[in-house]
Amino acid sequence: MEAPLIRAYPREATIAEKFHAMVVLDIRNSRIKDFYVGLHCTRDSCSDSFEMHGKRKVRRTAPTSARVGLSSSASKRLTNAFHCTFFCASSRKPSVSAKGMSSGSDVPRRLNENSIAFCTDSISNSQVFAINQISLTQDVVRGHLVGDHTVGIYPLLQDETCWFLAVDFDKRTWQKDAAAFLKSCREMNVPAVLERSRSGNGGHVWIFFNRAIPAAAARKLGCAILTRTMEFRQQVGLESYDRFFPNQDTMPKGGLGSLIALPLQKVPRAEGNSAFIDSEFRPYQDQWAFLASVERMSADAVEVVVREAQKRGDLIGVRISIVDDAPQDPWALPPSQKNVERPIPGPFPPAVQIVRANLLYIEKNGLPPAMLNRLLRLAAFQNPEFYKAQAMRLPTFNKPRIIACGEDLANHIALPRGCLVEVMELFEAHHIKPDIRDERCAGHSIDVKFCGQLRPSQQDAVSMIAEHDEGVLCAPTAFGKTAVAAWLIAARKVNTLVLVHRQQLLDQWHARLAMFLDLSAKLIGQVGGGKSERNGTVDIAIIQSTHGREGVKDFVAEYGHVIVDECHHLSAFTFEQVMKQVKARYILGLTATPERKDGHHPIIYMQCGPIRHKLSARSMTAVTPFEHEVIPRLTEFCLPPEQIDTTIQEVYAAHADDRARNELILADLLCAVGDRRSPLLLTGRTNHLKYFETALSGKVSNVFVLRGGMGKKQRRTIAEAIAAVPESEPRVILATGSYIGEGFDDARLDTLFLAMPISWKGTLQQYVGRLHRLHDAKHVVRVYDYVDCHVLMLARMYARRLKGYGAIGYRIGAAAADAPSSSD
């Protein structure tokens, strides 16, 4: 087995050593506020030598003379017994420190009494200490027990196994939460013990194993127990799935995983903390006798519990955002690939009141805890970012395993409006009659009419959406979503708030609504962009401007109709908080790309309702009157062989400086201009834009640069200048992808130069969508894709782009690296 790695801090260090320590410190465990000495040794070490990894700060605690269950001195027998509890199996003799074997030997090693780890108890909070190598010795363990220093453990071993699972409870209700968890452990035949934390304001439940088992299995065990616990105590909270030690299944690159303080350190123990406690939350008088009685769980028993939980769908018990990233074993699922929902035992009240307002408020009275828990889980889903980071061996710090959008209030469960159908289905399955009271804002009547003419595809959309109060319209760029929204405003005839996330979109909506609704621009209110002029009829607001220091502004609840443009941004925390305060009867979300790369798109449907009408980009492409093609251009771009673990921003920087690649793009660009095409070049860096702006100077008469950070007047001036260019004159638009991706319309554009690598299909669809506006002179829309095939990461990104092009309906031409021909 692997023994633990020690972290310790010498009393003095040079400035260079302090600086080095600052660079390599492990901040992922910063929530452990006390001074720790971490333990975790290397697998093939021939001696009990341990490597130091970072720094910790000390919080001074005044010692007292009181003790809990320990004599005034810690003997060799006690220190070995303590070490065996946390670092080896109970079947070993007390003097054994670990089961790791030295080279050529199968004899377990003992504590090394000749090598002492020097630690100190008088380190100031502001100091940083150098990294040393020390050894795990009798004195190190004894120093922890007598209060000279504090010892902590990294549970995750190098082979991604662990000897125990610890669960942290630190809310004000930690005693009730831990007691409920222990009750579930007893019901599931899982041996577990409870320790009061060092601060006394929380507790740790420890589950020990009779051998090192995979961390993934240990954490699944914890999930199964926690899911069972929340069936009768939902107050434990879904965030508890992130309070396990170890905190992930795999070892993060360059790290050691999570760190937890070991119990029985003298200073907190003197106050009754850092000690094991009974069901009355009183410390056991003889801690050693108690530890000797602790049962260890076998790996086979863990497997049985986990397997049964998977069959019942109780491993985590919330929806999966992206099936491919699901932690559930696929062979444990039924053919439908859905978790089996077990009936909830009653009794239930005959009827439950549901208030529809900004949220769904479900009355708790009479509902058993298991039903309250199930309701909260309707508004939760597994976070794909957590599983992605874990699979890539990256730290999962600050990446919750479960994203919960519901709230457990004093008298109600509050869920997002989009969960209504699932709530009704759940109540129907348990014969509960929903008593619905509608407290949504009906708004006030407005007198507007639609002055445009909808295309047949748009008429199909409005007929589907008008049947529902809430929902999402998913259609590609150039479909005319703004026209559909304007038709619905005129049809519903209630005051309307349009929410956008950029000034550019606000300006565009302002112009389009004035046109479609035959309204004077002065009658359309605006909030954001330096203005706060609402008229209460039709207003447009930048969503960031609706949220101030004191929270969401009250006016968002005063409309009967709220439209969210580019609603895929709603998963951002601030945007979600705004929508949680909207009380409108009618909610409409508009997007071309509802699926998010981070997998957080369930939040869109929770806040706006389900997709009511969807038109795929391929379907849209099939009915447009022009052809769609991609011209792959092979480049000779490569990175220096010594450049390892390159980030995409470093690639962008290298692209901007690569002369041969830039000249290839420039030659293609000039050729397109010579063919009387209207090109748009996208890149990720402003210095790259500057290169092309300079290179085109004197060659093309009309060159326009669009990038972030431009003021409203500058944007308006450039937009007017672009519109003023006669169609007989050549022009080129250079822009950053972040600026042009949403809200930029120019029907003349027919050629896209993708000068930067991307991979996400949603981003690709947004970029190529700039070419899809109808124009009389448009016969072929063309994308020049620059393929950096000599860099593996970039070649893989191109492979993903190919799938994206296929989904949109583009034809892929033959790849070439030679000079372009000047013809269509």
pLDDT in tens, 72-91: 344 555 666 666 666 554 43
52 neighbors 134 (Cβ within 8 angstroms): yes
Give the residue with greater pLDDT, 158 vs 303: 303
pLDDT at 126: 33
DSSP state, residue 749: -
Q: What is the pLDDT of residue 35?
A: 33
Q: With cut-offs at 50, 70 and 90, classify the pLDDT of residue 281.
A: very high
pLDDT tens digits, one per residue of 496-544: 999 999 888 898 899 899 999 988 878 899 998 888 899 989 999 999 9
3-state secondary structure of 652: helix
Cβ atoms of 79 and 264 within 8 Å: the answer is no
Q: Given the structure tokens 């119990």, which residue do they identify? A: 263
Q: 406: alpha, beta or left, given left = phi > 0 and alpha = psi -120 to 50? A: beta
Q: Quote the crossing angle between the two packed helices 174-187 and 215-229, to the nearest 10°.
A: 110
CB 468 within 8 A of CB 420: no
Query: What pLDDT, on a 0 to 100 scale, did the predictor assign at position 504?
Result: 84
pLDDT at 98 over 90: no
CA separation, residue 484 to residues 175, 451, 516, 523, 588 (Å): 55, 12, 10, 20, 11
Whether 13 contacts 124, CB under 8 Å: no
Residue 745 has what pLDDT?
Answer: 79
Average pLDDT estimate for 5-18:
38
**H/E run at residue 219:** helix 215-229
What is the CA angle 442-448-451, rounded to 5?
A: 135
In 582-738, where do the E strands start and end?
586-591, 611-614, 627-634, 679-683, 703-706, 732-736
Confidence of residue 393 (pLDDT cuts 50, 70, 90): low
Q: Are 484 and 458 in contact (CB under 8 A)?
A: yes
What φ, ψ does residue 463 adopt, rounded to 5°? -65, -35
Q: Which residues pair with 524 in a beta bridge?
A: 538
pLDDT-above-70 percentage for the chain = 78
DSSP secondary structure, 761-801, as one string: HHHHHHHHGGG-S--TT-SEEEEEEEE-TTSHHHHHHHHHH
Return the amino acid letter for 126.
Answer: S
Domains, in order of start, for the chain: 130-312 (3.90.920), 351-438 (3.30.780), 456-615 (3.40.50.300), 621-812 (3.40.50.300)
**pLDDT tens column, 330-384:** 444 455 445 556 788 889 999 999 999 999 999 999 999 889 989 998 998 888 7
Indicate the residue type of 603: I
